[in-house]
A = this chain, B = another copy of it.
Amino acid sequence: MYESKHNWNDAMNAEIITIGNELVSGSVIDTNSSFLAERLLSIGIEVTRITSVGDNELDITDSLESALQRSEVILITGGLGPTPDDITAEVAAKTLGRELVINEEALDWVKGFFKKLGLEMSPNNEKQALIPERTELIMNPTGTACGFLAREKDKLVFFLPGVPRELVRMTDESILPILQREKGEGFQFKTTTLKVFGLGESKIAELIKDVVQKCESVRIGFLPNYPENYIKITAKGLDYEETSTIVSTIEEEITKQLGDYIFGRDDQTLEGVVGDLLRENRDTIAVAESCTGGLISHRLTNVPGSSDYMMRGIVAYSNQAKTDLLNIPASLIDESGAVSSKVAEKMAQGVRELGKTTLGLAVTGIAGPGGGTPDKPVGLVFISLSDKKETVLKGYNFPGNRAQIRLAASHAALDLVRRYYLK
């Protein structure tokens, strides 16, 4: 996986410091940094470094001092809570040479927060109103830990809570608007992500090599997200329209190469795309699953409003269930085996007929780790899609462990429905 990097030196630089023992002990994965980096990039600010340290004075001071020497914008998350190990505000005051004072606005906020919930405020929470002087308060609409912005010469230093949910809201409502204002008109970034299924990373790279090579002002990144691959196009420009046009042009050229292997873009999911196709065509679907064990039904029904087209799912894990619920003759299972092309087809037909739906989708296979034979190894999966007129069958040998095989099989099944509508 790689992401090309172009010479965008005129972009504003930022640095992120995340604070918390749970981060450096490996108990918690730091998701705040990538969230902040992505959001900053969307307004033309590039993050050049991310540092995580524990809740201790020396490491916090040192990382803040180093960052002040390098970057124009510094975002610090964590350590603003009510417990004794939360020392970020105190260390910030010391490092920036400011007094720690009770901020009345913050105190009112914390008091109001508890009052609204009908709870008594613990004395610990009063500590959350102790904030370095000469800072701007950043309200936290969903928590007690207010953030603050310190201006240190020409640098902006943001101190923010570490709870992801609180940070997300404060970023969009306060931090990005402040940064937009500070940096003036400047450069805008425009990003589009193309989502690909059915082509490996190296094959994609080969197919779009020429497009990538001639891109000078555009960054193209490859991100595998098993079993999908993402292509992320980022362009920079002074003008929003112009930047969008550049991204659209690259998108078109890549689409010309990859065609319908691209199933969606940005926030789209495969199950969402399939759902839209079913709804647009006023079709309905029923699903019969064996080795995927309910995953396809789960994914289809993840989409709000999926009850418009998703009628029923059958997880026919036992052979008896296949016979009872899908009308598969026991003799066919005896002859061909539960994992066979014939049983897959019968499952798709059976679930469609019994459910009186437009489409019937079925999967049977061996997810492992046990149950494989030389003839029918772990990873062997049959997928079938049936409509009134015909029944399509696909056979696969998926690599990987149980979870990977199940995930890839559910993807391949959903993709079969998508491609049904491309015909």
Q: Which of A289-338 contact B (CB under 8 A)?
A: 289, 292-298, 300-302, 304-307, 310-318, 320-321, 324-325
Minimum CB–CB distance for A49 against chain B, Å: 5
Stretch at the interface among A26-34, A341-349, A385-393, A412-420: A26-34
Complex Cα gap A54–B4 (Å): 10
**What residues on B are CB-neighbors of A50 within 8 Å?**
23-24, 30, 51-53
Q: A312-B318, A325-B325 are in contact. Are A25 and B221 (CB under 8 A)?
A: yes
When the two chains form their complex, are residues A26 and B5 in contact, meaning their CB atoms are under 8 A apart? no
Q: A25-B3, A312-B318 are in contact. Are A53 and B59 (CB under 8 A)?
A: no
When the two chains form their complex, are residues B34 and A29 in contact, meaning their CB atoms are under 8 A apart? yes
When the two chains form their complex, are residues A30 and B30 in contact, meaning their CB atoms are under 8 A apart? yes
Query: A20 — nearest CB in chain B belongs to which residue?
Result: B3
When the two chains form their complex, are residues B317 and A315 in contact, meaning their CB atoms are under 8 A apart? no
When the two chains form their complex, are residues B26 and A41 in contact, meaning their CB atoms are under 8 A apart? yes
When the two chains form their complex, are residues A293 and B298 in contact, meaning their CB atoms are under 8 A apart? yes
Q: Does A36 contact B (CB under 8 A)?
A: yes
Minimum CB–CB distance for A208 against chain B, Å: 14
**A51-65 vs B: 1/0 string, CB under 8 Å?**
111111001000100
Q: Does A95 contact B (CB under 8 A)?
A: no
**What residues on B are CB-neighbors of A369 within 8 Å?**
304
Minimum CB–CB distance for A350 against chain B, Å: 13
Query: A205 — nearest CB in chain B belongs to which residue?
Result: B83
Q: A24-B48, A38-B25 are in contact. Are A2 and B321 (CB under 8 A)?
A: no
When the two chains form their complex, are residues B294 and A221 in contact, meaning their CB atoms are under 8 A apart? no
Complex Cα gap A369–B306 (Å): 11
When the two chains form their complex, are residues B25 and A2 in contact, meaning their CB atoms are under 8 A apart? no
Q: Does A210 contact B (CB under 8 A)?
A: no
When the two chains form their complex, are residues B298 and A313 in contact, meaning their CB atoms are under 8 A apart? no
Minimum CB–CB distance for A185 against chain B, Å: 22
When the two chains form their complex, are residues B27 and A30 in contact, meaning their CB atoms are under 8 A apart? no
Complex Cα gap A83–B302 (Å): 38
When the two chains form their complex, are residues B318 and A315 in contact, meaning their CB atoms are under 8 A apart? no
Query: A29 — nearest CB in chain B belongs to which residue?
Result: B34
Complex Cα gap A30–B49 (Å): 13
**Interface pairs (12), CB distance under 8 Å:** A1-B22, A5-B55, A23-B34, A25-B221, A26-B38, A50-B53, A287-B315, A294-B296, A312-B318, A312-B321, A312-B324, A320-B356
A-B interface, 9 closest residue pairs, ranked by CB to CB distance from nearest:
A293-B301, A294-B297, A26-B38, A313-B315, A26-B37, A294-B294, A312-B321, A294-B298, A50-B52
Beyond A24-B47, A27-B38, 13 extra complex contacts between A and B, CB < 8 Å? A1-B28, A5-B21, A27-B34, A28-B223, A48-B53, A48-B54, A49-B51, A293-B301, A297-B317, A304-B368, A311-B320, A324-B354, A324-B355
